[in-house]
Every structure is written in C-alpha cells, then in structure tokens.
Structure 1
Amino acid sequence: MAGNRAVAYVEPGKVEVQDIPYPTLELRDGPGVNPANVGRQCQHGVILRVVTTNICGSDQHMVRGRTSAPRDLVLGHEILGEVVEVGRDVEFIKVGDLCSVPFNIACGRCRNCKEGKTGICLNVNPDRPGSAYGYVDMGGWVGGQAEYVMVPYADWNLLRFPDRDQAMEKILDLTMLSDIFPTGFHGAVTAGVRPGSTVYVAGAGPVGLAAAAGARLLGAAVVIVGDLIPERLDRARRAGFETVDVSLGDPRDQVEQLLGVPEVDAAVDAVGFEARGHGAGAAQEAPATVLNSLMELTAAGGAIGIPGLYVTADPGAVDEPARRGSLSLSLGTGWAKSLSFTTGQCPVMRYNRSLMMAILHDRVSIADVVGATVISLDDAPQGYADFDGGAARKYVIDPHGLVGATSAGAAG
C-alpha cells in the first residue's frame, strides 16, 4: 500500500511534514477526531491523490496558537485531486476523475443541505453544525495538505471537471474553487454587490482579493481594497483595484478622496478576529476594528458580508472578552443605519460550479489576482512562515510534482 505524508501542526509557530497513515474509507482515531466520529464508515467516499492543496489564512490562525488545535493535527481544507479509489456506495464519481473538494463537508441528506446551506450540515460534526477538513473542532476529518486524502459523500461533495486537459491548463485557478474564490464571492454577494456598486473590501490577503475579484465579476463600478501591508496593497493595485492604506488612518477619509463621498454601497470583512487598529493603532491588535469601521463606512441601507473568520474561543486574544469571542461592537450604528450582516462559512457548493465555468471560459484569472505560487510539500513549513510574514502570495502545495515549480504572479 502507498505511504502518505502530510503537513501537521506541532506547536504555536511550527508545522512539519510527517508520515501519516494512508487513508481508508473509515474515520479513524487521531489528533482532533471527535470520539463520536471514530469508526465512522464512509463507503460513500473516495480516496484522492492530491494534485494541489493551498495554505489558507484560516490555517494560520491555528498555527499561531490562536485556537485549541491539538498537536499533530493534519492541516488543509483547500483540496483538488484525482480519484484513485471509490467506495461501494459511490455511483457517479469514477476512478481517474479530477475534482475540486468544497472545504465544508456536507452529507447532502439533512435539512440544511437540502436547503443549500452546506456550510452548516447537521450530520458531519457531532459538536455543532458544519465541518471542514483539517480544522479544529470540525469533527476531525483529516486534512488535505497531504499526498492522499479521504473525501466522504463523494457523489454530493465533489465538483468534477469536464475536461482533464483543460483543467490541468488552468489548475492554479481551479484550485481556488475549494475555498477562497467562493468564500470571497460569497462575501461580495451577501454584501449586495450589483452592477454599478461601490465596494470596500477590508483585507488584501487572498480572500480579500478574491472578494474584490468577485465584486468585479458581479459588475461593481469601483472596488477599493484596504490593508496595512505595502506588498499586499501593491498586489491589489496591480490587479486593477483601488487601495486604501489603513495604517494612515480612518479609511473613510481615503474613500472620500477616491469617490467624493466617505461611504460605499457595500462592504466586505475579509480580515476576521485578528484585526489590527487603524492609523497610529495599526501595530496593535483590536479585533472589533474592522467591523466597527465598516458600519461607519457603509451607506445607510447597505450590507456587510463577513467571510472573515470569527471564533468562540481565542487563547491569544488581547483581553478576556475577546478570549470568549465577545467583541465590543457599535451595534447601535448598524441598527441606526439599517445595515444587514451575513456571517459564517461560505456554502461553497452554491457557487463553485458557476465560478468554475467563469474560469474555464476566461471570465476571470483568479490565480493572477491572488498571486498563486507553487511549492512542494517539503517547502510547506517555509510557505507558512512567509505567508505569516505578510507575503502577497497564495501558496499552492504540489505534493506529487504534477503542477511544476511555476506560479501565476510569483515574480510579481
């Protein structure tokens, strides 16, 4: 039987490549696996040879020690792979199929799945609605930053690409379908972006840039991206977006210089709970900063999409309330302006096929926008370190050398 190697969390600030068991169609005990899930039979699942798997900002929260992730938890929820084994109950997915894997695991059978709310499936995580690969408190499904991974409910979860050769030509774009492109697009959709909208996206990391690209795809007139890291702001400008440097102060002032008014129609929070202050406070963590600033920045009657991650427990938070996930929000501002808010995991399956078609028919080059950069599995620890340092790149791990050491935007 083939071996398997994977990227695992070791301790705050450290990941390493480890030898792990080759996957089977059974959820076995291991780091982070919910005891109620141990022994779960998955004849509805498949084994994938991983072609690409990406490092995500959500992974970084765990690696920084900002969650209760256990030692040796295998990471990775952004997965694209080739089917090498199918379970007895799989009917439509075949060996050899090249597929994108939605990061949120869904059964396809529960009430929420049938209503399209695949980010909060009721049957895959014994602790709470919703699950994901390689993530703390998400049921213990083994992560995909590995050579091989098991995907349950394959007929339901997998998005099969219609033409393998075409897919391999656009693999760096298609690898973004597992999470960040649908997640960013969901942020723009839930913010109410439509043709002619003015949009502000907080955060120029990969999800923020994906949200900006999604807003442009939806027909926004002006898309402004705010951040405090110069390299990321430069990446946003080269992708054709306006930018705001929040280290210089309140974004409203800079937005007014761009638009003539200090408000936008729609806003997206692509930062989450590790937000920093603006202006002189940019060096200090202030987790409510982005949400409060977006309430000020969004015009009355507008909406704020919040794909940025917020947690119920943060061991490294700046104060006791934030450690419990309690932030000091100016909710009165939001109420007075009749603002709408949408939070939570993106239901990837709501968007991934449409975004796949946009990629395959050259409507968007998301890999160029986010700076997709290919690295080997062995280089993953350095990729984590570079990404944590603010590199304006989206690191794509190539476990089997199937993509090659080339990247979209790597030289930029």
Structure 2
Amino acid sequence: MCNSSNHGVVYKGPGQVAVESIAFPELALGKRKCNHGVILKVLTTNICGSDQHMVRGRTTAPAGLVLGHEITGVILEKGDDVEFLNVGDIVSVPFNIACGRCRNCKSGMTGICLNVNPARPGAAYGYVDMGGWVGGQSEYVMVPYADFNLLKFPDSDQAMEKIRDLTLLSDIFPTGFHGCVTAGVGPGSTVYIAGAGPVGLAAAVSAQLLGAACVIVGDMIEERLEQARSFGCETIDLREDGDMEDKLEVILGEREVDCFVDCVGFEAHGCGCGGHQKEAPAAVLNSAMQITRAGGQIGIPGLYVTDDPGATDEAARVGALSMRFGLGWAKSHSFHTGQCPVMKYHRSLMQAILFDKVNIAKAVNVQLITLDQAPQGYADFDGGAAKKFVIDPHGSVAA
C-alpha cells in the first residue's frame, strides 16, 4: 500500500497553492509505529477560511505545507490498537487532533490537547504552528488516536446520501454552533453574527437551531448577505453609513442584542458605520462590546493569531490589538475564545442532520469541486464567493 500514489493541495507561498504528488500516508509517527491510527481514503475535504489566512500570507506557514483540516473519509487501513472502528467505516474527522489521554482531553477540551503539538497546546491537520501534521486536502490521509477522535456514521448508504451536510461536521458546523453556545444563545435570544462567510452562516443556522428569536448577520459582500437571507436571517450591509445601534433598532426595536458571535477574526475591516473599510483587527471585538447588552456574552470562534506577517502595525503583528476592554468590563460581558472542541458537539449535530432538523449544506451553499479545481476554489473563495467549497478527490460524491 505504501507504493500507492497520493496527491494533495500544497501551499507554495503567499497567494499560491498547487495540487502536487505527495507521500502516501503510513501508520507511523516519525520512526515509531502508529498502532492507534487509521489511513483514510478521503471522501470529502473542505476549503476553510482558516486555510485562506495562510494562503494570503497572513501567517508564518512554511511553503510546502499540505493543507486541509476538514476531512471525511472511509477507513482503508487500521492499526493493531484500533478496537472500535473497522475498514470500510465512513467517519468524520474533527479538525482538532487530540490524544484522549491528557488532562485537557479528559475534561472535554480537545481543542487544546497537551500531547499532540510540542510547540503549544492544540493541534490540527495541515495548519501552521499546529504540530506539523500532514493536511487532508488530499486523496489519502493518516489520522491518529482513531478510536477517540473519529465519529463513525451509523449507515454508510445514508452517509453518502447526506455527505454534503455531514462533511461540515469536521469543523464549521460545530465551530459555528460553539460560537453560539458560548455567546449564550437560547430560546428567544436576539443574536448578531459578524461575518457571513461559511462559519458565520453555520453560526446563523446554529442560532436558529438553538431557538433564537432573531438572527442578524452583518457583512460587506451582498452575495453573502443574500445567502443569509435565504434561510430567514435579517442582515446588515456594513458598507452603508450609519450607527450600528440605529440599524439594530430598525430590526429589533432595541439598540442592543443579547448575544454576539465573531466569525470574522483578525482580518477584520472597519465598516462604513464610522469606519473607512480599512483593515482594523479589533473592529469586530469593539463592535461586540458596543452592541451587546450589559451582562451579555460574546463568542469568538473567529481566528486570532500570535504572529501576523501582514499586519497593519507592529502591535497587531504579535496579536496585540487596540480593544476598548474597559467598556466590556463595565458592561459585565463574558468573552469566550479559542478553537472549537469539535467532539463536544459533532455527534449531536450529526443526529440533527440525519433526522432532517437542519439543512446546513444548503445554508452555507456547498459547492462540490474536484481536487484539480482546488486552486481555483481558493481564488474564488478569496474573492468573496458565497460558497463553501468541498473537494471530492476521488469523484465518490459526484458518482
């Protein structure tokens, strides 16, 4: 099997990705056997906004990195210590790599596992500073700690029928849901979602699933706002002048929301509401404190980095942002940051998909592409396309 061919999406430098021949995965970690791992034939693997930060040159990602942390596949081979999964099982791979053995994993904090990244807590496939793991925008990939990490779909035929929805369990659906949970979204809540990219749209669907009374999505791209409106969200075009409180009052009759979810992150821009659409990495965080009610919660699944080579100033380069934190303190806000612990949510969200309680693929506008089309998918996504690009490397889904 080690002589089989494999191809993957490789980061070549700022603005450049290419599909290249890469090594076929082995059940090994360095020089030792990885008996707890599996090799997957990748069924679907998605392009994420987090990947886009790297491809834009906004991280310290090295050229040659195989990209991709949103993976769904079928088990091709398994290690001797894998007890509860079998060859042929279709599984969702959480983007967090977690050992299942450390203090954090045992507490459910799988996004900050202590054993899978020598540099810092937390690891992911194909991502900068996340342990050096090979990414899964490829034909085949190795997944460690398989019994702990993988979510097996109960019926393979049903899984293939709903694969466009189920592929989103590896990251953006749990991430959007986590943003809403940490923002305190519940029945009757009013919610503002900053950003109508795929994670923002997934958060909007999640807020509806959690019982929100009104979900408002803000963005600067009309096509993405139209996508949010397609499943019942209110929208705010951030290119238009005017105070955010005035815009909220038109929709809600109130000038604040109960819950705020930041799905933009560090590449935020100042909006037309008093800004000039220039990059302003703290813009969303400051807006959150401004328009969230006293005692409200702010979920921050949007990515913030510790090293940004393309930052607008030296402070922002190391993640030091100019936040009006005193306002948040005065309003007794709570802030929740960090990677989503996917395993906390993915089984429940799988059930919501399988029992037709949610149509997440339609909400985020899944667009199926081939592996060879991945570079164009990156370019279109960078241009603001209101689509979630899902790579079908073997043509399994198209078939």
TM-score, structure 1 normalization: 0.95
CA distance in 2, matches of 1:303, 1:247: 26
Q: Deviations over 1:337-384 (max 9, x none)?
A: 000000000000000000000000000000000000000000000000
Gaps of 5+ in 1: 28-37, 406-412
Partner of 2:256: 263
Give the deviation of 1:303 after TM superposition.
0.2
Structure 2: which amino acid aligns with 1:376? T
Is 1:370 the counterpart of 2:364? The answer is yes
Partner of 2:312: 318
Partner of 1:234: 226
CA distance in 2, matches of 1:313, 1:323: 5
**Paired residue secondary structure (1:2):** coil
- Residues 277 and 283 of structure 1 are in contact (CA less than 8 Å); yes or no, is this contact kept in structure 2? yes
* Larger deviation, residues 230-239 vs 384-393: 230-239
Give the deviation of 1:282 after TM superposition.
4.6
TM-score, structure 2 normalization: 0.98
Partner of 1:17: 19
Structure 2: which amino acid aligns with 1:218? L
- Residues 45 and 86 of structure 1 are in contact (CA less than 8 Å); yes or no, is this contact kept in structure 2? yes
CA distance in 1, matches of 2:16, 2:31: 30
Structure 1: which amino acid aligns with 2:341? P
- Residues 103 and 179 of structure 1 are in contact (CA less than 8 Å); yes or no, is this contact kept in structure 2? yes
- Residues 46 and 86 of structure 1 are in contact (CA less than 8 Å); yes or no, is this contact kept in structure 2? yes
- Residues 226 and 251 of structure 1 are in contact (CA less than 8 Å); yes or no, is this contact kept in structure 2? no
Partner of 2:325: 331
CA distance in 1, matches of 2:378, 2:285: 27
Structure 1: which amino acid aligns with 2:255? P
CA distance in 1, matches of 2:378, 2:166: 21
Give the deviation of 1:283 after TM superposition.
2.9
Partner of 1:30: none
Structure 2: which amino acid aligns with 1:327? L
Aligned residues: 395
Structure 1: which amino acid aligns with 2:150? L
- Residues 269 and 291 of structure 1 are in contact (CA less than 8 Å); yes or no, is this contact kept in structure 2? yes
Structure 2: which amino acid aligns with 1:149? V
Superposed, which structure 2 residues align to 1:105-184 within 5 Å?
A: 105-184=97-176
CA distance in 1, matches of 2:244, 2:125: 36
Give the deviation of 1:247 after TM superposition.
1.1
Structure 2: which amino acid aligns with 1:264? V
CA distance in 2, matches of 1:109, 1:382: 40
**Paired residue secondary structure (2:92):** strand
Match of 1:102 among 88, 94, 98: 94
Structure 1: which amino acid aligns with 2:279? E
Superposed, which structure 2 residues align to 1:42-121 within 5 Å?
A: 42-121=34-113
Partner of 1:253: 246
**Paired residue secondary structure (1:116):** coil
Structure 2: which amino acid aligns with 1:177? L
Is 1:352 the counterpart of 2:354? The answer is no
Structure 1: which amino acid aligns with 2:215? V
Structure 2: which amino acid aligns with 1:378? D
Is 1:278 the counterpart of 2:290? The answer is no
Percent of aligned positions that are identical: 71
Match of 2:377 among 383, 386, 392: 383
Partner of 2:179: 187
Give the deviation of 1:162 after TM superposition.
0.1
**Paired residue secondary structure (2:296):** strand
Q: Deviations over 1:270-315 (max 9, x none)?
A: 0000000011635310000000001001000000000000000100
**Paired residue secondary structure (1:390):** coil
CA distance in 2, matches of 1:305, 1:326: 19
Give the deviation of 1:256 after TM superposition.
1.1
Partner of 2:211: 219
Partner of 2:389: 395
CA distance in 1, matches of 2:210, 2:324: 29
CA distance in 2, matches of 1:59, 1:147: 18
Q: Deviations over 1:71-127 (max 9, x none)?
A: 110000000000000011111110000000000000000010000000000000001
- Residues 93 and 155 of structure 1 are in contact (CA less than 8 Å); yes or no, is this contact kept in structure 2? yes
Is 1:304 the counterpart of 2:316? The answer is no
- Residues 245 and 251 of structure 1 are in contact (CA less than 8 Å); yes or no, is this contact kept in structure 2? no
Give the deviation of 1:40 after TM superposition.
5.0
**Paired residue secondary structure (1:311):** coil
* Larger deviation, residues 145-154 vs 280-289: 280-289
Structure 1: which amino acid aligns with 2:358? V
Structure 2: which amino acid aligns with 1:298? T
**Paired residue secondary structure (2:239):** helix
Gaps of 5+ in 2: none
CA distance in 2, matches of 1:41, 1:74: 22
Q: Deviations over 1:185-204 (max 9, x none)?
A: 00000000010000000000
- Residues 73 and 134 of structure 1 are in contact (CA less than 8 Å); yes or no, is this contact kept in structure 2? yes
Q: Deviations over 1:158-214 (max 9, x none)?
A: 000000011111000000000000000000000000100000000000000111111
